[in-house]
């Protein structure tokens, strides 16, 4: 098979995303749960990004120049940035799950979000700290249910977050991923 051209790769990514939209923004998970993807305001995501600020770049004293110079290659700084990226990513995923999905179908063999038994099981097995799911909060309950009951594996998480991203427009990351290898320096 001939290698795809630049234009063909972009069209393929856009077509994949349009297929999800045509399916009514429904994502079927490995557990049989079907989630409807609803738009997440892009400024909400931006507000989350803004809350997770990087630490200031450390400085080192340069004897030659007799002044401090920025040291972005510091291992501690790199580790701190990576930790912030992880926390930011999880916060965005939580926001996407709570505000960007809703239950379209739940099979009978999957615990209902309204039941308390699945919460008790998560607490008893130390998946969640006791009382970490506020049973009187629909958002808290739904987030925990989506993360620990509805989403069965990593592929489910990717499907949900990708579909939510599509609702905000074709992602640059998908286009970039499709084009990887198209340029001499990769």
| Residue 23 confidence (pLDDT) | 53
Q: What is the pLDDT of residues 148-161, one digit of tens each?
A: 999 999 999 999 99
Q: What is the pLDDT of residues 63-117, one digit of tens each?
A: 888 899 899 999 999 999 999 999 999 999 999 999 999 999 999 999 999 999 9
Higher pLDDT, 45 or 181: 45
Q: Which among 148, 172, 127, 131 is positioned nearest to 29, based on CA atoms?
A: 148
Q: What is the pLDDT of residues 11-66, one digit of tens each?
A: 665 555 555 444 568 999 999 999 999 998 888 889 999 999 999 999 988 888 88
The answer to whether residue 184 scores a pLDDT higher than 60 is no
Q: Do residues 60 and 51 make contact, with C-beta atoms less than 8 angstroms apart?
A: no
pTM above 0.85, yes or no: no
| Residue 182 confidence (pLDDT) | 47
* DSSP notation for 72-141: TT-HHHHHHHHHHHHHHHHHHHHHHHHHHEEEEE--TTS--TT-SHHHHHHHHTTSS-TT-S-TT-HHHH
| Residue 129 confidence (pLDDT) | 87
Q: Specify which residues 34 forms β-bridges with.
A: 28, 105
Domain ranges in the chain are 6-110+152-179
The answer to whether residue 10 scores a pLDDT higher than 60 is no
């Amino acid at each position: 098979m001939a290698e795809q051209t630049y234009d063909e790769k972009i069209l393929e990514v856009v077509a994949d995303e349009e297929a999800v939209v045509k399916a009514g923004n429904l994502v079927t998970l490995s557990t049989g749960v079907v989630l409807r993807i609803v738009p997440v305001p892009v400024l909400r995501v931006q507000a989350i990004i803004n809350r997770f600020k990087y630490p200031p770049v450390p400085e080192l004293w340069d004897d030659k120049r007799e002044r401090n110079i920025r040291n972005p290659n510091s291992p501690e700084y790199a580790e701190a940035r990576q930790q912030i990226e992880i926390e930011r990513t999880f916060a965005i995923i939580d926001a996407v799950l709570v505000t960007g999905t809703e239950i379209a179908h739940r099979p009978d063999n999957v615990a209902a979000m309204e039941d308390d038994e699945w919460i008790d099981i998560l607490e008893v097995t130390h998946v969640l700290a006791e009382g970490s799911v506020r049973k009187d909060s629909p958002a808290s309950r739904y987030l925990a249910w989506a993360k620990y009951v509805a989403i069965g594996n990593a592929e489910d998480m990717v499907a949900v977050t990708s579909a939510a991203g599509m609702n905000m427009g074709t992602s640059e990351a998908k286009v970039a991923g499709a084009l990887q290898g198209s340029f001499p320096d990769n």
